Structure 1
Amino acid sequence: MTAPVVTALRPRGSGRVAVELDAGPWRVVPLEAVLVAGLTVGGELDRPRARTLGRELRRLEAREAALRALSRRDHTRASLERRLAERGTSTALRRDTVAAAERAGLVDDARFASGRAAVLAGRGAGDAMIEEDLGRHGVPEQTIRDALERLEPESERAAAVVAARGRSAKTVRFLAGKGFREETLEPFVAELSDEG
């Protein structure tokens, strides 16, 4: 059986090409994939070219999925890999895609951790809640510790909440529910015990 012959390559919008095989429409693919696969009018779409084209289409699809995800919100390395895995992207291709996004500065776990920690702290979260949230996003432990160190100390954040809400058992329960550590809450509990 002979390989199909590329009979036309027609531009279709921004960076897309309609490929005709044996005088019939076949697919519309990215121009980059056509160039990488070496498709030319009159050339055969033999098995090696078809494999190269398939690999390039999967690579471009993974890249586009990563860019779409990153355009919506910041991601960690782990969360972007999870997103690509959900789409069925192979392990090697996921790693390559995420590594390329890191090299381009689109993925940065330290930047993500610092920004997310600051937002959560601003919403009244304690260190334990922030740590758990960052861990759920796949931030490495040392990066989490570094992000927490850049925040205003937890004791000062707790004191600000107490000043705003009032010194009461209800406020201490609120702080505990927001992930403030026991050692941070102990002075407030002791003061309430002394008053009561």
Structure 2
Amino acid sequence: MQSRPAPKDEPAEAYAAALRLLARREHSGVELRRKLHQRGFTEASIGPSLEQLCAAGYLSDARFAGSLVRHRAAQGYGDLRLRAELAQHGIDHAIVEQALEALDADWCERALAQARRHFGEPPATAGARARVLRHLAQRGFASSVARAALAEWCKSEQ
């Protein structure tokens, strides 16, 4: 049985650990706090460290949200998936909306591109159309957007 290490109560150590994590990739404040807790730091050392990182501009939920939105949208995910993922990272609703607005995406066009990339050719049967709609829904596109993209795809191939 493993014993738990003694809690780390040194803000400078927490700051250094957080900085190492941020050097690898952007993190949300909630995610960074969780990771520091997992590494044995106490809240008394984490709080001041995160405040210092924010003040220095190294930690930004807005920058994290923008980065995640651009990356996931490029992977073919829809706005519903992006909103849910950002909420899991503890990002404020207003910041989520700003990040999505800054992306300035045509979600119907992105859904159409995702369907074409995944399926190759437009669906010929009702069952195939249902598979396309399910796929787009699983990728986080709203059903109205998925239906519009499917209609556009079928219309453009006729």
Q: Distance in 1 between matches of 2:73 and 2:59?
A: 22
Q: 1 or 2 for the larger relative contact order (CA 8 Å, sep ≥6)?
A: 2
How many correspondences in the alignment?
138
C-alpha displacement of 1:186 = 2.8
Q: Which has the higher strand share?
A: 1
User: Which residue pairs with 1:110 in the alignment?
Assistant: 62
User: Which residue pairs with 2:39 in the alignment?
Assistant: 87
Q: Point out where structure 2 has 5 or more consecutive residues left out of the alignment.
A: 1-8, 124-128
Q: Point out where structure 1 has 5 or more consecutive residues left out of the alignment.
A: 1-56
TM-score with structure 2 setting the length: 0.76
Q: Identity over aligned residues, as a percent?
A: 33
Q: Quick one: structure 1 residues 188 and 66, their matched pair in 2 at CA, closer, same or farther if it must change by over 3 Å?
A: closer
User: Which residue pairs with 2:114 in the alignment?
Assistant: 161
Q: Does residue 187 of structure 1 match 2:125?
A: no
The one-letter amino acid paired with 2:145 is: T
Rg: which structure is higher?
A: 1
| Cα-to-partner distance string for 1:160-186 (whole Å, 9 max, x where unaligned) | 234443332233222111111112123
Q: Is the Cα contact below 8 Å between 2:27 and 2:59 reproduced in 1?
A: yes
3-state SS of paired residue (1:147): helix
3-state SS of paired residue (2:10): helix
TM-score with structure 1 setting the length: 0.63
Q: Distance in 2 between matches of 1:192 and 1:160?
A: 9
3-state SS of paired residue (1:107): coil
Q: Which has the higher helix share?
A: 2
